[in-house]
């Protein structure tokens, strides 16, 4: 077999473009598990286990399907791939385009002795060319417009055909039904977890060994807990999570998708993003299953539309923007934020803020937090405190089980900290402690007072919020969506604003 197919770690589907372009008896397949990734980022232990175990399980799945598969474990990609090419007489290598731009650049720099043939990715609904054709027609690339076009293009939750098709239920968006604050005693259904099998246990042992070697070399330990590890690592398990979501969580997903509750890190969230981002599930496959479940089980339309919007809308939108904006986007810092990350971000808590420490402890345990925890606690803090956006984006990438460059650049730089100056979001998603008080149960046991703006007991989100507005008054006051908050800022007396800004400065000083 002179043809080699190199399958990357986030392309774990037998339908991926390179595998789908040939037959099992016509090519040799390579998967590479390289510890060199830790030289770039110190990833969460559970993320390493998830990716490497999923790769090993996928290799077995391919073998059972008749493919000749070589699974190589090494320190460096280049050495490992070159040895494989030489050993098996590979004359050309086919790869599917990776979702992350930097990964392709790194592969191109390997100077392999054979030609690389890149096949367009089929891991997303929108190709990069199709997204570019859509984006080229707009001055402002707003997600709602993109989402509606996706609904039409892929005939999702639509009634009628062609140009006359209308959204099911008569409206496109049910956001107003899906933003309820948590009620007392709110509890979600139990998520579906899995016990590690022998393959996963072997990966866990390797991660532990690599971590010990790092620490012996004087490097800090990898973030996150290694055990218990309970994520799915195969397509069969990913499909089981999808079915479990439909059976136990879909009908309740909508109303409380923005709620944050102590002791309830998952509530009704789907927990599908890690499997979608690895390729174990395809987005259109998931959407069609959800649509069918909606018809068969009479799922409330607000719940069904809410979860489909996350996949068909936001996920496709952020991936498309990542490639449309190009490499320079990763260096965006329109607000000139330069503060270093506080030590407690790396240590999994210790900020004294109940909201922040709760979310960090949950990430420490599983590498997961849902979208509102990410946006309105973690990224909101980064925005208000003026944390360096590149450092914060890197932290998100390392810590989250579903984190990749294409995910985190647009989500953190654009939506989270407004570092792109509004190319993605129409305004900064800045909020005081009052938002967290309304949408969570965190404030009840916090040592800070969410009703105070300044002084030693004041909620840091409050002092930082008003300080943020004062710092960026000249930059942001012309934004029509910010007019109301700047009117509120003007109502503060000079003495009160000075006290607020002093409290904010004292909070930031130990960072």
DSSP 297-321: HT--HHHHHHHHIIIIIIIHHHHHH
What is the separation, in whole angstroms, between the first and last Cα of the chain? 57
User: What per-residue confidence (pLDDT) applies to 137?
Assistant: 85
User: What per-residue confidence (pLDDT) applies to 1?
Assistant: 66
Torsion of the alpha carbons at 369, 373, 375 and 377, rounded to the nearest 10: -130
Query: Distance (Å, rounded) from C-alpha 372 to C-alpha 239?
Result: 25
User: What per-residue confidence (pLDDT) applies to 422?
Assistant: 94
pLDDT over 80 at 338, yes or no: yes
The side-by-side arrangement of strands in the sheet containing 115-119 is 68-74, 28-34, 3-6, 92-96, 115-119
- Where does the pLDDT of residue 509 fall: very low under 50, low under 70, confident under 90, or very high at 90 and above? confident
Query: Distance (Å, rounded) from C-alpha 115 to C-alpha 111?
Result: 10
Structure tokens at 278: 């690895």
User: What per-residue confidence (pLDDT) applies to 277?
Assistant: 98
- Spatial neighbors of 330 by CB under 8 A, at least 6 apart, are 390, 393, 405, 409, 413
If you search the block for the tokens 């969460």, which residue do you land on? 44
Q: What percent of the chain has pLDDT over 70?
A: 99
Vertex 235: Cα angle to 257 and 72 (nearest 5): 120
Vertex 348: Cα angle to 260 and 233 (nearest 5): 75
Any idea how long the chain is? 511
* Beta-bridge partners for 261: 264
- Where does the pLDDT of residue 214 fall: very low under 50, low under 70, confident under 90, or very high at 90 and above? very high
β 3-6/92-96 pair status:
parallel
> Is 414 in contact with 407 (CB distance < 8 Å)?
no
Query: Distance (Å, rounded) from C-alpha 378 to C-alpha 362?
Result: 12
Reference 425, options 310, 273, 314; nearest CA is 314
Q: What is the mean pLDDT of residues 172-193?
A: 92
pLDDT over 70 at 511, yes or no: no
Helix ranges restricted to H, 298-401: 301-308, 316-325, 343-346, 354-366, 371-372, 380-385, 389-399
User: What per-residue confidence (pLDDT) applies to 147?
Assistant: 97
Query: Distance (Å, rounded) from C-alpha 242 to C-alpha 193?
Result: 12
Question: Could you read off the pLDDT of 462-501 as tens digits, one per residue?
Answer: 999 999 999 999 999 999 999 999 999 999 999 999 999 9
Reference 453, options 429, 432, 473, 469; nearest CA is 432
Question: Could you read off the pLDDT of 80-103 as tens digits, one per residue?
Answer: 999 999 999 999 999 999 999 999
Reference 330, options 262, 256, 217, 407; nearest CA is 407
Q: What is the mean pLDDT of residues 208-233?
A: 97
Query: Distance (Å, rounded) from C-alpha 414 to C-alpha 332?
Result: 9
The angle, 0 to 180 degrees and rounded to 10, between the axes of the packed helices 301-308 and 283-297 is 180
User: What per-residue confidence (pLDDT) applies to 178?
Assistant: 83
Give the chain's mean pLDDT.
96
> Is 118 in contact with 104 (CB distance < 8 Å)?
yes
Query: Distance (Å, rounded) from C-alpha 242 to C-alpha 249?
Result: 10
> Is 240 in contact with 251 (CB distance < 8 Å)?
no
Reference 481, options 420, 418, 414, 429; nearest CA is 429
User: What per-residue confidence (pLDDT) applies to 476?
Assistant: 96
CA dist 296 to 243, 244, 291, 293, 299, Å? 13, 15, 9, 5, 8
- Spatial neighbors of 30 by CB under 8 A, at least 6 apart, are 4, 5, 6, 7, 69, 70, 72, 81, 84
User: What per-residue confidence (pLDDT) applies to 45?
Assistant: 98
User: What per-residue confidence (pLDDT) applies to 139?
Assistant: 85
All domains in the chain, ordered by first residue: 3-119 (3.40.50.620), 128-193+230-325 (1.25.40.80), 343-508 (1.10.579.10)
More reliable by pLDDT, 510 or 45: 45
């Amino acid at each position: 077999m002179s043809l080699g197919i190199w399958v990357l770690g986030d392309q774990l589907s037998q339908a991926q473009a390179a595998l789908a372009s040939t037959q099992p008896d016509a090519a040799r397949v390579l998967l590479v598990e390289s510890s060199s990734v830790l030289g770039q980022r110190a990833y969460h232990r559970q993320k390493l286990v998830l990716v490497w175990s999923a790769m090993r399980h996928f290799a077995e799945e391919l073998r059972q399907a008749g493919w000749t598969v070589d699974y190589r474990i090494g320190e460096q990609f280049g050495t490992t791939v070159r040895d494989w090419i030489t050993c098996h007489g590979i004359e050309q290598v086919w790869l599917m385009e990776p979702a992350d731009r930097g990964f392709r650049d790194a592969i191109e720099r390997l100077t392999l002795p054979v030609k690389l043939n890149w096949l367009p990715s089929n891991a997303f609904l929108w190709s990069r060319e199709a997204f570019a054709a859509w984006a080229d027609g707009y001055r402002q690339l707003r997600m709602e417009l993109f989402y509606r076009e996706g609904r039409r293009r892929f005939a999702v939750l639509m009634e009628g055909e062609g140009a006359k098709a209308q959204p099911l239920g008569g409206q496109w968006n049910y956001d107003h039904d899906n933003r309820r604050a948590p009620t007392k005693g709110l509890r979600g259904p139990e998520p579906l977890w899995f016990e590690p099998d022998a393959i996963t246990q072997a990966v866990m042992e390797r991660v532990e060994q690599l971590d010990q070697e790092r620490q012996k070399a004087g490097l800090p330990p990898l973030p996150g807990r290694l055990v218990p590890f309970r994520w799915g690592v195969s397509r069969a398990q990913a499909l089981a999570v999808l079915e479990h979501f439909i059976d136990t969580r879909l009908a309740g997903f909508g109303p409380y998708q923005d709620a944050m509750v102590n002791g309830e890190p998952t509530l009704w969230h789907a927990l599908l993003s890690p499997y979608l981002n690895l390729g174990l599930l395809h987005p259109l496959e998931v959407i069609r299953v959800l649509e069918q479940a909606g018809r068969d089980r009479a799922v409330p339309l607000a719940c069904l539309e809410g979860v489909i919007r996350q996949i068909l809308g936001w996920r496709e939108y952020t991936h498309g923007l990542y490639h449309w904006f190009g490499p320079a986007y990763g260096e965006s810092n329109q607000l000139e934020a330069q503060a270093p990350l506080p030590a407690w971000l790396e240590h999994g808590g210790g900020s004294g803020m109940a909201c922040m420490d709760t979310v960090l402890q949950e990430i420490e345990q599983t590498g997961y937090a849902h979208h509102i925890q990410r946006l309105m606690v973690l990224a909101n803090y980064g925005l208000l405190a003026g944390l360096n956006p590149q450092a914060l984006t890197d932290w998100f990438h390392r810590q989250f089980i579903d984190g990749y460059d294409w995910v985190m650049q647009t989500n953190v730089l654009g939506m989270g900290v407004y570092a792109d100056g509004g190319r993605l979001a129409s305004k900064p998603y800045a909020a005081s402690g009052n938002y967290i008080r309304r949408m969570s149960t965190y404030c009840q046991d916090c040592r800070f007072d969410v009703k105070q703006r300044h002084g030693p007991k004041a909620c840091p989100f409050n002092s930082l919020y008003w300080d943020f507005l004062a710092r960026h008054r000249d930059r942001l006051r012309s934004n029509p969506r910010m007019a109301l908050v700047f009117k509120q800022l003007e109502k503060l007396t000079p003495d009160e604003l000075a006290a607020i800004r002093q409290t904010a400065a004292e909070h930031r000083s130990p960072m």
